[in-house]
Each structure stands twice: as C-alpha cells, then as structure tokens.
Amino acid sequence: MNIVLLGSGKVATQIGKALHNAGIPVAQVYSPTLEHAQTLAMQVHAKAISELAELTKNADVYIISVKDDAILGLVDQLDLGDKIVLHTSGSTAMDVLKSASTNYGVLYPLQTFSFDKTVDFSQVPIAVEASSPEIAKQLEALAHKLSPKIIQMTSEQRLVLHIAAVFACNFSNHLYAIAEQLLESKGISFDYLRPLIAETAAKVQQALPSEVQTGPAIRKDEKILQKHLDFLKEQPQLQEIYRLLSQSIVNL
C-alpha cells in the first residue's frame, strides 16, 4: 500500500511521519506552496509537488488534509477512479468526497497537532467512516497502523465529537490565554498557573468533569462572583465571558 498526502500542514505532517515510521511508503506530498510540500516530503522520503497535474494515479490511498474551507475546491479537481480518497476533518461530511472517487472515507484523528511536537499516535483515537464495508475494512487496517483506538462514526457523530473537542481543547486553551493576559497586566508569571492546569487535566482522567467542578460558581459564593465581575468592568467582553461561564456552571 502506498499513500499520497494532499496538504502539508500540521495533520498531514504528523500522519505522514507516523505512516512513514510504520513502514508505509508516502509517494507524493502535494501542497499549493511547493516549499511546504518539500519540507514534509523530505521527512517522509516522498516527491513534493505543487501542481495537481503532477499527481500520480498509481497510489492506493489519497489523504486530503488541507484547511476545511479548501477541501471542496480540491475535491472538485480530483478524478481518482476507484482509488481510496480520505479526508481528516471533524466537521466535513464524508460525502463531499464522492465526486473524486467511487471509494472514499474519513480518518479523523482526535488530537491537537503541531508541526514540531511529535504525537504518540498509539494514544490517539481515530474516528473512521467509509463509503462501503469493503473500504471500511481497508481503512481500519490503515488506521490500525497508526493507533489501536479506532472508532466507527457517522458524519453526524463526528461533527458532535469535533464540537466537543472545540469546547474541551480550543476553548480551554483560549481561557488559558485570557488568564495569561490578566496575570501579565499585574506582572505575575503564567508559570504559577501551570500546576493548577496540570491537576485540572489530571483529575478528569479518573473522574467526569461535571463531578469535579470547583470554584465560586459551583459554591454559589455570590459576593466573590460579584467582586470578580466588578474587577472586570473595564473589560466588558471578559466580564460577559465570566458571567456566561459562571451561569453555565450553575445550570449544569
């Protein structure tokens, strides 16, 4: 089995490296910016291309891992017969791939990826969906080369998984960034928060988040809540975020 990667961003880079390390050859890396294609191609011993006209028709699997808004435009330019075409998006329906090939599917790795931080793929849950039972078998076999944690999911379930991931990961990180800014305004180092953040994340490895909530909102410490809102009065957007999240904690 050999692979073509369409995209050279964070996910393509981590999937490409993991496949290469698992002994699965990557034939080509396509990316609109040749330099970006080259950076990844060098790491996985593939050929870099920036023109779809140069795309080989001889690979077994084509993995599209480009920004979500670019998937449709790219798919429209592909005509890959019965080759397996996959995308890696949480919120894009599988069927958008049907004009590119008769065989298609989704391989959505549930993790936050960066260029430089190598991910232990064996710990990453991968949501898969395929256009037919036969393709499902081949897709699962490929996904198993990356991780033992394979989950069959419909496009609708995967959408919910992605929204949940945005709340759990992207929004949490944004809240860290708000905390960073607040501390910075008083010359306090973000380092002091790191043990707290680590313990909060560690607790939900054993318990459900709804069971381990702490803080003034769950205690209904009204005076403290008001004091915090008063402190934030010069920053109405932060004040609104604080109010909404506190109310959500109470409601849940």
Please report, as ranges, the residues that interact with ligand NAP according to CB under 6 A: 7-12, 31-33, 36, 65-68, 70, 73-74, 88-90, 108-109, 112-113
C-beta closer to ligand NAP: residue 9 or 25: 9
C-beta closer to ligand NAP: residue 6 or 217: 6
Q: Measured from the CB of residue 21, what is the shortest distance to ligand NAP in angstroms?
A: 18
Q: Measured from the CB of residue 28, what is the shortest distance to ligand NAP in angstroms?
A: 13
Q: Measured from the CB of residue 52, what is the shortest distance to ligand NAP in angstroms?
A: 9
Residue 97 in contact with residue 109, Cβ under 8 Å?
no
C-beta closer to ligand NAP: residue 43 or 235: 43
Q: Measured from the CB of residue 106, what is the shortest distance to ligand NAP in angstroms?
A: 10
Six-digit token string for 169: 């990961």
Residue 38: count other Cβ atoms within 10 Å of its Cβ: 18
C-beta closer to ligand NAP: residue 10 or 144: 10
CA distance readout (Å), 102 to 1, 72, 94 = 18, 16, 12
C-beta closer to ligand NAP: residue 90 or 105: 90
CA distance readout (Å), 245 to 163, 166, 175, 227 = 17, 15, 11, 16
Please report which helix (H) or strand (E) contains residue 159, including its range. helix 155-165
Nearest C-alpha neighbor of 210 from the set 152, 167, 242, 170: 167
Q: Which residues contact 71 (CB under 8 A, 6 or more apart)?
A: 64, 87, 89, 92, 96
Q: Measured from the CB of residue 101, what is the shortest distance to ligand NAP in angstroms?
A: 17
Q: Measured from the CB of residue 47, what is the shortest distance to ligand NAP in angstroms?
A: 15
Classify each residue of 43-55 as buried b or exposed e, where b means 16 or more C-beta atoms within 10 Å of its C-beta.
ebebebbbeeeeb
C-beta closer to ligand NAP: residue 89 or 103: 89
